[in-house]
């Protein structure tokens, strides 16, 4: 018996990306490097704030479309 309940691959990938991005943003190098007067760390967290909900929304919408297309496909319908 597998130890975990299954998660959709797209959702697992989103989760890994978000955690990876957060770790990347907190790397020490970004605290001293600057862009347009602000530490790159600040820009990365700002990007994370917009990216994280946008990415999760995109994942859910694409998954839902995929599920609908699958249920509409005559080949996958039960007879």
Partner 1 sequence: MLLERALVGIYLAACIGIGIAVSRRVFGSGDEYWVAGRRIGTVVNSMAIMAALASGGSIIGVMGLAYAQGIPATLALFGGAVVGFPLASILVAKPLRNFGKFTITDFLSFRYPHAVVRYLVPILIVIAFTIYIVAQLKAAGITAEALLGIPYNTALTLATLVFITYVSFGGMVAITWTDVIQGVLMVFVVLGTALVLTWRVGSPFEIMDQATAVAPELGQVSHMPVSGYLGYFIIWATAIPVIPHIVMRVFTAKDAESARMSLNLSMLVYSVMILAAVLAIVPVGRIDFPGLQDADQLFLRVMETQFPPLIRGIAVAAVLAAVMSTTDALLLACSSAIAHDLLGNALRGRASERTLSLVRVGSAWFVGIAALLWAFNPPELISEFYTAGVGILSASLFVPTIAGLWWKRANLAGGVGAVVSGAVAYVVVQVGLLDIGLAPVVVGLAASASAMALGGLLGARESPDMIERIGALHR
Residues contributing to the site for partner 1 (CB under 8 A) = 1-7, 11, 14-15, 18, 22, 26, 28, 31-32, 34, 36-39, 41-42, 45-46, 48-50, 52-57, 60, 64
Coil vs helix vs strand at 28: coil
Bridge partner list, 35:
38
**Sign, Cα dihedral of 75, 6, 48, 41:** negative
Tell me whether residue 42 or residue 77 sits nearer to partner 1 (CB atom).
42
**Dihedral (Cα; 13, 14, 18, 21), 10-degree rounding:** 60
Tell me whether residue 3 or residue 74 sits nearer to partner 1 (CB atom).
3
Residue 77 CB, nearest approach to partner 1 (Å): 19
């Amino acid at each position: 018996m597998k130890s975990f309940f299954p998660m959709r691959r797209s959702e697992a990938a989103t989760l890994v990306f978000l955690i990876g991005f957060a770790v990347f943003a907190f790397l020490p190098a970004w605290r001293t490097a600057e862009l347009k007067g602000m530490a790159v760390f600040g820009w990365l967290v700002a990007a994370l704030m917009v990216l994280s909900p946008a990415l999760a929304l995109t994942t859910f919408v694409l998954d839902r479309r995929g599920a609908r297309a699958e249920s509409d496909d005559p080949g996958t319908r039960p007879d």
